A and B are shown apart, each in its own frame.
Chain A
Amino acid sequence: MVAEDLIWGYIYPNEIEIQWSILIVLYPYITGLVAGAFIASSLYHVFGKQEIKPVARFALLTALAFLLVATLPLVTHLGNPLRGIEIMFTPHLTSAMSGFGYIYSFYLIIVVLEIWLSFREDIVKNALKFKGWKKLMYSSLALFSYDISEKALHSDEKFARKLAIIGIPSAAFLHGYVGFIFGGIKANPWWSTPLMPIIFLMSAIVSGIALLILLYITASWLRKKVLNYKTLFSLAHYLWIFLILDVTLELLEIISMKYESLEEIEIIDRLLSEKIATTFYGVQLTMGIFIPFVLLILVMVMKNREKLKTLMIAVSSIFVVIGVFAMRWNVVIGGQEISKSLSGTNTYVPVFFSQEGVLPALIIMILPFIILTVLTYILPPWKDMET
């Protein structure tokens, strides 16, 4: 039935089944990308960083594309998916998970409004320009109000800014909260730390910026346009700063665990040295943080050589998004590979075809890119990038 060699030491008999699969790894990964992309766009919308402007609207569309699939891994994984909606009607508020429906919906509204406001001028112009079904589509998107006078646009912008100001804490909340879902579980020594929300948030920002960089480079390449290097380097700079915050927190957590050496340290040492050594030290820390960190320093000190620097930034960003995925994996899967008896470990073996397998995970990961393509077709953000 279950291969004995997957288990070391003693685990509680009910722990033979690992409950949260790769889909639950995707959930914090995707919400993290959303929060990160949104915060990247706020660098312009709220903090007025002009160099980010070319990708600010693109970042919002990216956030929406991923946000739209964020509930999928959760619902797919439920034992009774049809009852999932109960979380909206009868949330049980002592549960960290119960707020998800509300926080998610609130955030969705903010992102959609923010997009609407920042694209309204284009929408109205298109509504006036096109004929037939396109006219209908843009007119309905414009909510049949066509005022794009200087004054109207100005008040749009003011409102968008206010919205983005609310957006930042809610993005932080959306994701910090996901961290708390794990951080608040006292039963699991690998999860239970008050640092978890903030670690999740930092890695979210890092992954969101890296994703934005990759999408920006890809989009420019596909559209055969030159990159705005100022924007790219500035994004790289922010990536670097958030990497430092991220690694500080992640190391702080491990170091204090080791230093305090509580009862659970033996099993955690075993987790780190046997179970997730590669994904933790190798992928999460070395590939996901240290290599990009060094590459980005080089980018900052190097003069000219734009092509090479772009390549280095691209490689760093790829490493970062993989590293953050590994981080989610190490938390979600790693936490379940140690037994709460603190006396043994189990092994998660992903299956490909199953409700909670790798295949649905892949589909869920491909979907946002399709959604993003459609979104950019309806609301092209490209002209910002060209000026």
Chain B
Amino acid sequence: MDISRREFTKFGCRIIIGAAAGATIVESIATMGAAQVESPNKDYDWNEHLWGYVVDTRKCIGCGRCANACKLENEVPFDEPVYRTWIERYRVTREGNEETVKIDSPNGGIDGFIEDIPAKEIKKAFYVPKICNHCDNPPCVQVCPVGATYMTEDGVVLVDYEYCIGCRYCIQGCPYGARYFNIEKGTADKCTWCYHRITKGLLPACVQACPVGARKFGDLKDPESEINKILDKERINVLKADLGTKPKVYYVGLDREVR
């Protein structure tokens, strides 16, 4: 079944529903909802890459530049509470033997964080940048009823804004809260790893903006890439591994409190 989804729509209108259903079953299962079947631009072959992302939580200082850069780069509605990437702050305090964890992410961390707990009460504190995991087994793609959200050959999970019906099932299906509803488009929306940049050899805006190198991006297919070096050397974790989503955002120094 080598026809694109859009051609298929036209085709589907013409033939009887029964035949359409039969053919669609094959197409739909075979492609896992790939809305596009070709590389996005001519000089770029998406079969040559498999992108991955590393977050070193030990380095993050919670400045929020990444989240800010993302909103600007991707025209994410600036004043709405919607984020393609955000930074969480974890603070563990102890009183006697009782430990409490306070987590926050005011405005996604874009404006930085305020110190509202006296430093001497804090036992441990750290920041955790979050972003779509571009899961290798993405539940968001699985649940989309029309296949408007799909994975590219180079491993990036995208939304086809021309196709999405805006049912928001994918937002429910993502275990990480990585998706949001874009009111302007009437569709689901999410991080693209700056697909428009990476296919031109640039870094995602968040990676570019991070002043301490807490965010790394690269090609998993290239053994010499920086992220492969980190994956070889460090002890790595992913978020909610038990859900079987197979994230491609790898964390160094992930605390057990982080979900």
Contact = CB atoms under 8 A, between A and B. Distances in A.
Interface of A: 1-2, 9-17, 19-20, 74, 77-81, 83-84, 86-98, 100, 102, 181, 184-188, 336, 339-344
Interface residues of B, number: 60
A58 B103 CA distance: 56
Contacts of A186: 139, 175, 243-244
B145 A19 contact: no
A13 B13 CA distance: 40
B145 A95 contact: yes
Given A10-B103, A13-B86, A90-B28, A343 B259 contact: yes
18 contacts: A1-B81, A10-B103, A12-B86, A12-B105, A14-B171, A19-B171, A80-B187, A84-B165, A87-B146, A89-B13, A92-B144, A93-B28, A93-B29, A94-B28, A95-B142, A97-B145, A100-B145, A340-B177
Contacts of B238: none
B227 interface: no
B195 interface: no
A235 to B, nearest CB: 36
Interface string B106-125: 01100000000000000000
Contacts, number: 161
Contact of B168 (A19, A89, A98, A184): A19
Nearest to B242: A263
Contacts of B13: 89
Interface string B160-177: 000111111101111111
B25 interface: yes
A187 B175 CA distance: 4
Given A13-B81, A80-B186, A90 B177 contact: no
A4 to B, nearest CB: 10
A12 B172 contact: no
B17 interface: yes
B224 to A, nearest CB: 35
B33 A94 contact: yes
Given A12-B176, A100-B145, 12 more contacts: A12-B130, A19-B172, A20-B168, A90-B147, A91-B21, A92-B33, A92-B144, A92-B147, A94-B141, A96-B143, A97-B167, A185-B139
Contacts of B173: 185, 187
A186 B172 CA distance: 10
Interface stretch (B4-12, B45-53, B202-210, B211-219): B4-12
Interface string B74-117: 00000001110010100000000000011111011000000000
Contact of A79 (B8, B165, B243): B165
A303 to B, nearest CB: 52
Interface in B1-58: 5, 8-9, 12-13, 17, 20-21, 24-25, 28-29, 32-33
B126 interface: no
A79 B9 contact: no
Contacts of B167: 74, 77-79, 97
A21 to B, nearest CB: 10
B179 interface: yes
